[in-house]
Amino acid sequence: MGVCVSEEKIVTPQSKKIDSEMKALAVDIQQTIKILLLGPGESGKSTVFKQMKIIQDDGGFTEEEKRSFQEQIYNNCVSQMRAIIEAAINLKIPLTKKESLENAQHLMKATRDVVNWTPELGNMIKELWADPGIQEVYKKRGQHYQLNDTTEYFMSNIDRINEKNFMPTEEDVLRVRVRSTGIEEAEFTFDKKVFKVIDVGGQRSERRKWIHCFDGVSAVLFCASLADYDLPLREDPRQNRLTEAISLFGEVCNSETFLQRTLIFFLNKTDLLVNKLPEHPLENWRKDYTPPNSQDPTENYKAASEFLKNLFINEIDVDRRPLTSLYSHFTCALDTKNIEVVIRAVRTTLLQGIIKDFGL
């Protein structure tokens, strides 16, 4: 009777050692993993970029780096209060206090681009923010006029910002709004693995620069805001921000350039979505959405977020890009712990992809 020889691979200590060395080699071949950070304007991608600096190995902002954001914080405070005052004029909502009118007139005369911050200016902003008329105008933000998401945060911290020796905190740095223009890149190390992240401006005028960043990209990290379903685009008030983001996501996913690249999808600003849904029901803006028959905010959030996620996913041409190459995460870019967990998961995903590409 013949002897049957099994074709099953015999695993020996030596073969295990070789496999381990080959996997290590595969990872070492790409010492630096290049990630392209894309998304429309105000999606939170630049905040994600800042978070990477904080949560990387031995990360964080130096005192000098934090101080460099001081002027931008001052500018945010002035520009956002000016926007509220302009809206009050357009909406014909009167300010309640006499001194508020004087403060508003003074603030509107301030230089628009570069702010010469003084304690008097800080006090004017504080007094204006306390005016009931200003608060009424603030509640009408969104459809009637546009404000940064972090306006209330900085207005609530105006006393600290107005201190003589004001030093921005890391939270201030995360929240300050700086319009992304051009290309910003940096290397971050997570568990001794180096990632080169390239953040490209998300406004329409900046997107033509994306093509210069394609070479050697291992993955695309696309950010979109879940809370923009009721907001118009800053560059084109006729266009809805969510519609713009979905269209852009489809372009990126189905682009010939990115078909062979891993796609990481951050559905961002979950905190804003939770707070927005009760006052701005999603079904008022998306007639194809049916909310759950529930008063539970958590259940309503889950249903809305999954619906919004599927609007993006449905843009993918699955005949060209399998959904297995897409990794999506619900995120709050301002939450360092949340982003740290997600970034660690992204790191694992990308390293596993490299090993798989080498057939190991």
Give me the active site residues, please.
Answer: 42, 47, 177, 199, 203
Q: Return the residue matching tokens 């031995």.
A: 58
**Ligand-binding site membership of 199 (annotated):** yes
Q: What share of the chain is helix, strand, coil (3-state, %, to 5)?
A: 50, 10, 40
- Which pairing describes strands 262-268 and 32-38: parallel, antiparallel, or unpaired? unpaired
Distance CA 66, CA 167 (A): 7
Q: Is residue 337 marked as binding?
A: no
Annotated binding residue at 43?
A: yes
Cα–Cα dist 223/249, whole Å = 9
Q: What are the tokens at 183?
A: 């290309």
Confirm or deny that 46 is annotated as ligand binding. yes
> Residue 137, annotated ligand binder?
no
Q: 42 among the known binding-site residues?
A: yes
Task: Report how far apart the first and last C-alpha atoms of the chain are (Å, whole number).
Answer: 37
Asked if 177 and 150 count as a contact pair (C-beta separation under 8 A), the reply is yes
Cα–Cα distance between 76 and 318 in angstroms, integer?
42
> Per the annotation, does 271 bind a ligand?
yes
Q: Is position 182 annotated in a ligand binding site?
A: no
Instruction: Let me know: does 34 contact 193? Beta carbons within 8 Å.
Output: no
- Across the chain, where does the E strand assignment appear? 32-38, 183-190, 193-200, 219-225, 262-268, 326-330
> What gap in Å lies between CA 176 and CA 71, rounded to an integer?
10
Task: Please check whether residue 285 is in contact with residue 295, taking contact to mean a CB–CB distance below 8 angstroms.
Answer: no
305 marked among binding-site residues: no
Token reading at 154: 């900085």
Q: Is 180 annotated as a binding residue?
A: yes
CA–CA dist 252, 250 (Å, integer): 5
- Please tell me whether 201 is known to bind a ligand: yes
Question: How many CA atoms, within 13 angstroms, populate the side-chain half-sphere of residue 346?
Answer: 31
Residue 269 labelled as part of a binding site: yes
Q: What is the b/e burial string over 218-250, where b = at least 16 CB atoms within 10 angstroms of the residue's CB?
A: bbbbbbbbbbbbbbbbeeeeeebbbebbbebbe
Q: What is the distance between the alpha carbons of residues 175 and 153, in angstroms, rounded to a whole number?
A: 8
268 labelled binding-site residue: yes
203 labeled part of a ligand binding site? yes
202 belongs to an annotated ligand binding site = yes
In angstroms, the CA 218 to CA 216 distance is 6
**Residues that constitute the known binding site:** 42-47, 180, 199-203, 268-271, 333
Summarize the annotated binding site for GTP as residue ranges: 42-47, 199-203, 268-271, 333
Known binding site for Mg(2+): residues? Answer: 46, 180
